[in-house]
Amino acid sequence: GVVRVLPIGCITKGRAGQDIVDMKEMADAGVVALSDDGSSVPEYKVLRAALESAVAHGLTIIEHCEDAELSAGGVMNEGELADKLGLKGIPETAEEIIVARDIALSEMTGAHVHIAHVSTHGSVYLIRRAKASKFAVTAEATPHHLTLTEECVATPSKKAKADSSAKVNPPLRKERDVKALVAALKEGVIDAVATDHAPHAEYEKQWGMDRAPFGVIGLETALGLTLGLVQQGRVTLPRAITCLTSAPAAVLGLPRG
């Protein structure tokens, strides 16, 4: 009775990226935002139509920013560590290209675009510029992207060459990305902390990096990890509490009480 559960609808029918949903019907049914989370809307014209419809019905579009062609087959952050482990990487550019596109389309349509689970310093740069220009753009970061790096994928275990429990999408990045995200959270460039909670059975995560599903638990650790940033003096307590409570509500235009 103390937790509000608010539905987010799909942007496109069946999350297929082709035909936008009836947003009036969605809004009337009570959705608070729209997202094809797990994938971005690939076609520019489709996303433009979705943004224009979202403006007409007072809805926020939440984008998982990933160029599927650039990230195809990737299981961790692209770079020296991925090469060392013999794993296909997901480049930072795969996220940043879509962030840049979505910001441009937000400016074009006047629609509110919310960037989910930001993971790179380049995305932070783009979002900071968009906010300085007063575009209708907001963003979030996850507890794991604010505190962990790609090094978590490496494991000393002789049974596996990499730890698939740290396989997430977007992938854990480098220390410079973590620092950029924390600084952006402190400044307000990143508006909120959102868990991107994606639990999986232990046996699924034991399938190895190539077969294990993307995702990690987030609800149980979000408060502790965020307060860890406070204890380190990297974020103030009031800012941390805001990012976990009233800021997500503000992003969606909801009452903060």
* Helix ranges restricted to H, the chain: 23-29, 44-56, 68-71, 80-85, 92-109, 121-132, 143-147, 175-187, 202-205, 222-231, 237-244, 246-251
Contact between residue 106 and residue 130 where contact means Cβ atoms under 8 Å apart: yes
Task: Kindly report the number of other CB atoms within 10 A of residue 42's CB atom.
Answer: 17
Cα gap 83→54, rounded to integer Å: 42
In the set 36, 102, 163, 196, the catalytic residue is 196
Cα gap 75→171, rounded to integer Å: 7
Residue 196: active-site member = yes
The two structure tokens encoding residue 204: 């699924």
The closest alpha carbon to 172, from 144, 193, 198, belongs to 144
DSSP string, 196-250: ------HHHHTT-TTTSPS----TTTHHHHHHHHHHTTSS-HHHHHHHHTHHHHH
Cα gap 116→35, rounded to integer Å: 10
Q: Which residue numbers are catalytic?
A: 196
